Structure 1
Amino acid sequence: MKKKKLGLVPKLIIAIILGILVGQMRFLPEGVLRLPVTFSSIFSTFLSFIIPLMILGFVVVGISDLTEGAGKLLGMTTVLAYGSTLTAGILSYLMASAFFPSFIGESLVEKISGSGEGLSTLFSIPLSPLLDVTGAIVFSFVMGVGISALKSKGSGKYLYGFFKEFSEIISKVLSTIIIPFLPVYIFGNFLNLSYSGSVFSILSIFWKVFLLIIALHLLYVGFMFFVAGGVSGKNPWMLLKNQIPGYVTAVGTQSSAATIPVNVECARKNGVSKEIREFVVPLCATIHLAGSIITITSCVTAVLLIYDLPHGISLMATFIATLGVAMVAAPGAPGGAIMSALPFLTLVGIDPTGTMGQLLITLYLTQDSFGTAANVSGDNALAILVETFHKKSLLKEGKTISEVEAV
């Protein structure tokens, strides 16, 4: 019999609980308490080194891949997916800025900022990134667009192949080092927060943020299917019912990629043609991340409020617009979206390797499965919209109704 592996979220919850308990054990020698804090510091340094390489590995390939496919159909799907992701991000920010201040007040902010000092590390390892984040972003966009242009002329395959294989190496680093050691990293972080005395104030915020994010996920998925039903003339309640297996599978797997087979079947039940569902669903599993951006935007806003940092609409809109493109790089592994988003946290003044970055990762990963479920559910709503708009486009081009129905 195969042993059942403990998932990432349960490991994170255990790490948080243990970190809080151990941080309160003042009878332990300080050197013992500083060990996991030292590991977290070294892990953070390594993360700083990897982040620009993640940008190069994922964004170059993501942009290059986006320009391949079925012409007008690809363009339509990409515009709808990006528009949905942006809409979800803006709604998330509006929800967070409206509700979060009611339980993240000035007194709580002062209490967190006025907590005692944390533990220092035993030692540190100097490791500087090969590129800064801004340089990596600009280089990635230039290379991605350039490779795309070369591919349209029948060349660029070697350059594309290099970045594709480089992307696979970075994915391997994520799956074998970053993701597996995240619980240890979080353990050290929460041990330090517990030792300094700020952890309980932060936890009093966690559960409220969690509930509001889940509620917005469900509301947004419902909104998408009602729009899809209204445009296509289909019953939105039936569309939502048919999507339940895909939603539940995504909650369990925490991976859009792993849910594709089930999601394609959900699209079939919703009456989406074979050609459209087999094109749109796998593509949107990569480029449509409405659920993830809801979670990330809400968590970022919460962290900015906790540390009393600027969080205006212009700042967050820039972050959301950038993130909508950057998360195309998200691998199909649990936590892929937040890993792809880390390099861009500097846009809102968050150090991805500092305490705020660690807190954000923890907040996000405890809700990752629900964000993924919202992502894949939205994919099928988009498939219905794409098929409807595609048929209308064909009718405008002079196709007969029978020819359009045959698509």
Structure 2
Amino acid sequence: MPTQSSPSLMQRLLHASLVKQILVGLLAGIALAWLAPSAASSVGILGNLFVGALKAVAPLLVLVLVTASIMNHPLGRKTSLGPILFLYLLGTFSAALIAVLVSFMFPSVLDLKVANVQITPPGGIVEVLKGLVMSIVSNPFRALIDANYIGILAWAIGLGLAMRHSADTTKTLVTDVSVAVTKIVRVIIRFAPLGIFGLVAETLATSGFSALYNYIHLLVVLVGCMLLVALVFNPLIVFFKTRRNPYPLVFACLRESGVTAFFTRSSAANIPVNMNLCRKLGLDEDTYSVSIPLGATINMAGAAITITVLTLAAVSTLGIQVDILTALLLSVMAAICACGASGVAGGSLLLIPMACGLFGIPNDVAMQVVAVGFIIGVVQDSAETALNSSTDVLFTAAACQKS
């Protein structure tokens, strides 16, 4: 009987999870920069190609995802999910606001290439709002070409609302286009290990190993914000809702939902786990059968933190001054962006340029920030998903168990 040969090391690497592949690329980039700095500088083309592909697909992704989502929402659907939806939105906005405060207390600095980029930061909230309005009325084709994410979002919302009465065949076509673009994004992200390898090797070769400190500092700020939300602010929200000790429920959600989501890195994949946990908690099935899938789409506190912290890291690096009202507007924008995060790994990162647009940061610089997000994504994306998914059950249970 013929024996089956064991897979080679290369085959195991190619079929390993994306997290493991990115980790290998990260370590390989560090090793190359340490052992052969001159060679490390030359592989930067891999990072440039990866960032360029992200820059090309991100505007189209935002347009089709938001349009399809709004267009396919059933007309006149009546639900009793008002309190849960309110908690979802409150939690996401609160997370963004906390991320703003922590970022001000512990500012992060990134290694960005801005030598040939003209940056004109806004002078205050009035100028920010003026730029926001002018971006909204931008020509849609110009918005796509210039990666004007505010304009893209405005046109996507308008098209989605206008097409809600379209024929089913039209809705199917737009949905199919959305699925196709999402598949292209997944293909590009599969090349993230090579892109990370090139980015890390070139960055460390040119800026030195002190750049690693900046990555670690940024990651600590991100994870610290997520822990603060999960262990302090979410329990406060649940307490005010239920008037009971929230921590038994908080720890149950983190243990039975958060741990699984940390390793799957997908809120959608964790829906069956959350459904089973709701069943164990004795919640109303008619409620959680809707609120859990809904939460996997719009309850995105972790994504709001990621968008806010990375945007403010870019702002801090570029020396842009931020007033209180602009910071508040950023929190609102981050919460809205987070609700539109795509269902692929790293989806929240692709919405960072939209938030960067508030501060006049051009797309070329914003996409470098996205690339930094992929570098630390080995931990960041896992922690983000764990917070998002565990909070779905937490807020559903809080609304169902209201005293």
Give the TM-score taking structure 2 as reference length. 0.78
- Following the alignment from structure 1 to structure 2, what is the Cα–Cα distance between the partners of residues 234 and 250? 26
Residue deviations 1:178-215, cap 9 Å, x none?
A: 21111211222222212212x52332132233234323
Is 2:391 aligned against 1:378? yes
Among 49, 56, 62, which residue is 2:63 paired with? 56
Q: Note closer, same or farther for the CA distance 1:361–1:309 as it changes in structure 2 (3 Å cut).
A: farther
Q: 88, 94, 98: which is aligned to 1:87?
A: 94
1:25-174 alignment, distance < 5 Å: 25=35, 28=38, 33-34=41-42, 36-65=43-72, 70-100=77-107, 131-134=145-148, 135-148=151-164, 150=165, 155-174=166-185
Q: Which amino acid aligns with 1:218?
A: L
**Cα distance, 1:236 vs structure 2:** 1.9
Aligned to 1:249: 260
Comparing 251-260 with 308-317, which one deviates more in the overlay?
308-317
Q: Distance in 2 between matches of 1:351 and 1:207?
A: 25
Equivalent residues in 2 for 1:147-226, closer than 5 Å: 147-148=163-164, 150=165, 155-176=166-187, 178-197=188-207, 199-222=208-231, 223-226=233-236
- Aligned 8 A contact 2:46 2:199 in 1: no
Mapped to 2, the partners of 1:42 and 1:318 lie a distance apart of 33
Quote the Cα distance in structure 2 between the aligned partners of 1:343 and 1:51. Answer: 10
Letter in 2 for 1:206: Y
Change (3 A) 1:187 1:66: same
Contact 1:290 1:375 in 2 (8 A): yes
Native 8 Å contact 2:223 2:383 kept in 1: yes
Give, as a single letter, the amino acid of the residue that structure 2 aligns with 1:132: D
Contact 1:48-1:129 within 8 A present in 2 as well: no
Aligned partner of residue 100 in structure 1, secondary structure? coil
Deviations 1:257-305 (A, max 9, x none): 0011111222223332111111111101100100121133123223332
Is contact 1:254–1:373 with CA below 8 Å preserved after alignment? yes
Aligned partner letter, 2:213: S
User: Do the aligned partners of residues 349 and 66 (structure 1) sit closer, same or farther apart at CA in structure 2, a change above 3 Å counting?
Assistant: farther
CA distance in 1, matches of 2:147, 2:112: 28
1: CA distance, partners of 2:301 / 2:75:
22
Question: How many residues are aligned here?
Answer: 362
Q: Distance in 1 between matches of 2:38 and 2:115?
A: 18
Pairwise CA distance, 1:216: 2.7
What displacement does 1:133 show? Answer: 2.9
Tell me: CA distance 1:11–1:326, structure 2 relative to 1, closer, same or farther (3 Å).
Answer: same
Question: Would you say 1:297 and 2:311 are equivalent positions?
Answer: no
Aligned in 2, Cα 1:88/1:113: closer, same or farther, shift over 3 Å?
closer
Distance 1:372 1:328 in 2: 13
In structure 2, the partner of 1:124 is none
Cα offset, 1:156, TM superposition: 4.1
Q: Tell me which amino acid in the other structure corresponds to 2:158.
A: V
**Aligned residues of 1:300 and 1:360 also touching (Cα < 8 A):** no
TM-score (norm 1): 0.77
Letter in 1 for 2:60: L
Q: How does 1:273-292 map to 2 (within 5 A)?
A: 273-292=284-303
Q: What is the identity, as a one-letter code, of the residue corresponding to 2:383? A: F
Give me the whole-angstrom Cα distance separating, in 2, the residues matched to 1:49 and 1:82.
30
CA deviation vs aligned residue, 1:77-115 (integer Å, no higher than 9, x gap): 4333222211110111101111237xx6xxxx8xx6899
Other structure's SS at 1:277 match: helix
CA distance in 1, matches of 2:293, 2:172: 21
The 1:173–1:23 alpha-carbon spacing in structure 2 relative to 1, beyond 3 Å, is: same
1 CA distance for matches of 2:94 and 2:114?
A: 37
The aligned amino acid for 1:133 is A
Q: Which moved more, 1:10-19 or 1:256-265?
A: 10-19
* 1:245, distance to aligned residue in structure 2 (A): 1.3
Root-mean-square deviation over aligned CA pairs:
3.3
Q: Which amino acid is the alignment partner of residue 227 of structure 1?
A: I
Q: Which runs of 5+ in 1 are unaligned?
A: 118-127, 393-407
What residue number does 1:405 align with? none
Write out aligned runs for 1:207-356 (5 A): 207-222=216-231, 223-243=233-253, 244-354=255-365, 355-356=368-369
Q: Which has the higher contact order (CA 8 A, sep 6+)?
A: 2
Report the counterpart of residue 367 of structure 1 in structure 2.
380
Aligned to 2:270, what secondary structure does the other structure show? Answer: helix
Question: Separation in 2 of the partners of 1:235 and 1:114?
Answer: 49
Displacement of 1:240 after TM fit? 2.2
Cα offset for 1:246? 0.5
Q: How much identity, in percent, do the aligned residues show?
A: 23
Q: Secondary structure of 1:331's match? A: coil
**Structure 1 359/80 Cα, relative in aligned 2: closer, same or farther at 3 Å?**
same
On the 8 A contact 1:299/1:364 being kept in 2, the answer is: no
CA contact (8 A) 2:310 2:369 kept: no
Q: Which residue of 1 aligns with 2:131?
A: none
Q: Secondary structure at the match of 1:45?
A: helix
Unaligned runs of 5+ in 2: 1-5, 117-141
